[in-house]
Amino acid sequence: MGLSFEEKIDINIYMLHEELKQQPNLYYEYAKPYAKSVANSKRKDEQVKLLKTEIKAELDFVKATMDQEIRSNPEKFGAKKHTETAISSIIAASEDFKKLNEKLGTKLQKKIKEHIDSIEEMEVLFAAVNACIHRKSSLENEVKLLIGGFYSEPKIEKENKNKIKTKADKKRKSGVTGLKKIIKVR
């Protein structure tokens, strides 16, 4: 099984040469699907817009057809008046119109959910690409620290080294002398 994303972006400071070599591949591994997800999200957005237009056109057509039927035979629909408000109310209360409106609303909700899911996928991939960019920066900083001697042994000037050695020798001798006194007392 492959490594998790967290394991892939982790930096091993003892293998900087390998980490630097892998960085472009890691970036591409997430940048390519991110680009595809952006395009997919834009397609989904256009599909939602198109569906809204189609739904409006279909509902307008049904309203116009029903309006014409009501005006030609108002008694069949119980219309006492031929006003726009009365006719609109009859259309809105019609079972056929309600069912169609519900069916189209469900279809639209499904498309909107697909669009939102595509946005979520795009945002997750954007975060991964962004993490890869931060990883590159971290790798550069690790290299600077390595070049600057951050991971090297402490450097002590010769003069200070002799002072430290002299102090250490004195402490060691006093420790040995103290031990000898303790042993004699016993």
Query: Residue 129 belongs to a domain with what CATH number?
Result: 1.10.287
Same domain assignment for residues 107 and 182: no
Same domain assignment for residues 140 and 160: no
Looking at residue 14, the DSSP 8-state letter turns out to be: G
Same domain assignment for residues 123 and 163: no
Same domain assignment for residues 9 and 39: yes
The C-alpha atoms of residue 183 and residue 136 are separated, in whole angstroms, by 62
Q: What is each CA distance from 113 to 41, 45, 54, 171, in whole angstroms? A: 11, 11, 18, 76
Question: Which residue range is the domain that position 89 belongs to?
Answer: 5-152
Percent of the chain surpassing pLDDT 90: 65
Alpha helices in 73-157 (DSSP H): 74-77, 84-93, 95-147
Same domain assignment for residues 134 and 182: no
| Closest C-alpha to 58, from 101, 110, 107, 109 | 101
User: Which is more confident, 168 or 59?
Assistant: 59
Domain count, the chain: 2
Residue 37 clears pLDDT 90, i.e. is over it: yes
Same domain assignment for residues 169 and 139: no
Same domain assignment for residues 66 and 80: yes
Long-range contacts at 170-173 (CB < 8 A, ≥ 24 apart): none
Per the CB < 8 A criterion, the answer to whether 115 and 48 are in contact is yes
| pLDDT for res 96 | 92
pLDDT in tens, 102-161: 999 999 999 999 999 999 999 999 999 999 999 999 999 999 988 887 777 766 677 766
Same domain assignment for residues 64 and 108: yes
- Exposure class string for 91-124: b at 16+ Cβ within 10 A, else e: beebeebeeebeebeeeeeebbeebeebbebbee
Same domain assignment for residues 83 and 142: yes
